[in-house]
Structure 1
Amino acid sequence: MAVGTTRGKRKLGALMEGYLAQSGIKADKVIKEVRTSRSTWNRMIAGEARPRWATFIAILAVMKVSDEDRERALALWEVADDEAAPIEHAALLPKSYLRFRRDEAEAVIERTADAVLIPGLLQTPEYASAVAVGNRFLLPGENWDEKAGPERRDRQGLLRRQPEPLILHALIDEAALRREIGGPEIMRAQWEHLLQAVQWQNVTIQVIPNGAGAYGALSGTLIIYDFPGDDLGSAYVDSLIGLSPVEDEPGVTRLRAVWEDAATRALSVEETTDLIRTVRGS
């Protein structure tokens, strides 16, 4: 039984928790009759592990789920990823950020809106290291600034993933574009990288100009994921205490509306390219 949260495992855990509530049976009774462990049960419900097939079949039998519900659960068990995506420096990452990275690895489309910094998928290693220095009191372990660049490169590999690279649509506030992080040389390299990335077929970059006024994502970072075969997707919002996931339908729907509203205020790709060139200078 591989341990490590994935979106598929969390959906399976939520489904089984719902079935347990419908059955009226206590979890302790299920655990005892199936002869499994409390940790196995807890990990399944938390979406951190998928139980073995025989154990899962026995759990469904004890809860006496309907034939229709049983088929739904078995189908979800089949597609729930058994192994979490490998993440570089995983042991050093905060749990919330590690969950975010694993969700990102499963996504097919990522939409971001960043008001403070260049989005992580578009940061150069030097820019990422400079950000880490500024955030040193919030980051785990020592010398994270030395690991931030490699971590970003590992994450950005999704944009070159084969056969289907991650599709990125990034909205960047003009203030984030102009904010000097790490010094002039680092910023010039960062602007050059954006000018290269905007030409990639799977990447769309739009700047939200200073004159756009207030909008919903102005306070930080918003990230929305689309997953294969999932119409809802999920979202993350950033704060000083880290990334917070949003997976309920009303919450994701509202945050999608926030992103769409921000997108209406953004410059076109052509205008964005011209602005980056202007900020970079000759």
Structure 2
Amino acid sequence: MTHINVLDPGASPLDYYGFELRRHREAAELTQKQLGDIVNYTGSLVGQIETARKLPTQEFSERVDAALGTGGLLSRLVALVMRSQLPAWFQQVAELEARAVEICTFHTHSVHGLLQTEAYARAVLGTLDRSDLDDRTTVRLARQRIFEKNEPPVLWAVISEAALRQEIGGRETMRGQLAHLLAFEHNPRINIQVLPFSVGAHAGLTGSFTLFRFTGDPAIVYTEHYGSGHPTANPDTVKDCSLRYDHLQAAALSIRDSAELIRRVMEERYGEQRDADGDPVA
């Protein structure tokens, strides 16, 4: 059997996950390889997760829960693990996303993390630092599971037209990202509006921000700078940003017209290119 380091389950959510995975596997009298064969992963990966050297995924957790009869324990723990892997300054934001009943966000030059595809997220996260990129991408995408809850939040997203035209990750990545935005066109809980260039001066010129609204708790405004985030429940700030957001929504295209603009940009800017003979260009 592969040697397994002894983990302190109180050290971190990732250590606790590994400890529980090992405990349940051994209770089932399975080796790492045997469990890996059952859930269609390598025994090496099982060992890396048990020793907190690799992040588990939701799919891995669900398969192991089913194989070991844990009652969904690991599937519940994985959300906590993912949140703990976020930068310390962003962990509070992830908690706000998970608790909010309504999220109103305005972004100027990129698509919000809750709406990003895997390829787009990788391109954004890997701009200056490609270390642990797979894990960091997995952690970012895990935040989107809030939309799978029994009562998911309502998301209102106003994005600048610049975010559609700023080519991040290449043409194929952008085409996939815009197609992903269009997939929400008829989802009443995920509403996307584009603020077109033609608007000119607008209420969001000071930068991107997010409003979180809760049941029974004060609303919170979140703004972000390089390497730091600033949530505040200051009533004056919340009131000001709420007014700004109302004006941004009023100036933005309707949900239907926004989808049409996204579709047009996707085809005209990121559509498949062909040569003079009509063949696709590599």
**Aligning the two structures, in what range does the TM-score lie when normalised by the shorter sequence?**
0.5 to 0.7
Superposed CA offset, 1:121-157 (max 9, x none)? 1100110110001253xxxxx7243223312321111
| Equivalent residue for 2:215, pick from 223, 228, 237 | 228
Matched with 1:199 is 186
Matched with 1:122 is 115
Matched with 2:127 is 134
Indicate whether 1:150 and 2:114 are aligned.
Answer: no
| Equivalent residue for 1:181, pick from 135, 160, 168 | 168
Task: Kindly tell me the number of residue pairs found equivalent between the two proteins.
Answer: 195
Q: TM-score, normalised by structure 1?
A: 0.64
CA RMSD of aligned residues (A): 2.4
Matched with 1:238 is 224
Higher relative contact order (CA 8 A, sep 6+): 1
Q: Take 2:240 and 2:145, find their aligned partners in 1: how far apart are those partners?
A: 30
Once structures 1 and 2 are overlaid, which stretch shifts more, 104-113 or 240-249? 240-249
Name the amino acid aligned to 2:103. Answer: E
Matches within 5 A, 1:43-122: 86-122=79-115
Matched with 1:18 is none
Superposed CA offset, 1:217-274 (max 9, x none)? 23442110110123x3101012213221111111111111111111111001111011
Q: Take 1:176 and 1:222, find their aligned partners in 2: how far apart are those partners?
A: 15
Matched with 2:147 is 159
CA contact (8 A) 1:87 1:101 kept: no
Q: Take 1:106 and 1:85, find their aligned partners in 2: how far apart are those partners?
A: 17
CA contact (8 A) 2:103 2:153 kept: yes
Q: Take 1:199 and 1:152, find their aligned partners in 2: how far apart are those partners?
A: 24
Q: 1:132 to 1:220 in 2, by over 3 A?
A: farther
CA contact (8 A) 1:114 1:218 kept: no
Matched with 2:233 is 247
Q: Take 1:155 and 1:275, find their aligned partners in 2: how far apart are those partners?
A: 27
Q: 1:118 to 1:156 in 2, by over 3 A?
A: same
Indicate whether 1:262 and 2:248 are aligned.
Answer: yes
Q: Take 1:183 and 1:125, find their aligned partners in 2: how far apart are those partners?
A: 13
Q: 1:215 to 1:147 in 2, by over 3 A?
A: farther
| Structure 1 outlier segments of 4+, above 4 Å | none
Q: 1:238 to 1:214 in 2, by over 3 A?
A: farther
Unpaired runs of 5+ residues, structure 2, are 1-9, 13-76, 272-282
Q: Take 1:270 and 1:187, find their aligned partners in 2: how far apart are those partners?
A: 20
CA contact (8 A) 1:132 1:144 kept: no
CA contact (8 A) 2:83 2:139 kept: no
Q: Could you tell me how far 1:87 is from its partner in structure 2?
A: 3.5
Name the amino acid aligned to 2:233. Answer: E
SS at match of 2:212: strand
Q: Take 1:220 and 1:229, find their aligned partners in 2: how far apart are those partners?
A: 28
CA contact (8 A) 1:125 1:148 kept: no
Name the amino acid aligned to 1:146. Answer: D
CA contact (8 A) 2:125 2:137 kept: no
Q: Could you tell me how far 1:91 is from its partner in structure 2?
A: 4.0
Name the amino acid aligned to 1:93. Answer: L
Q: Take 1:179 and 1:246, find their aligned partners in 2: how far apart are those partners?
A: 30
CA contact (8 A) 1:208 1:262 kept: yes
Matched with 1:190 is 177
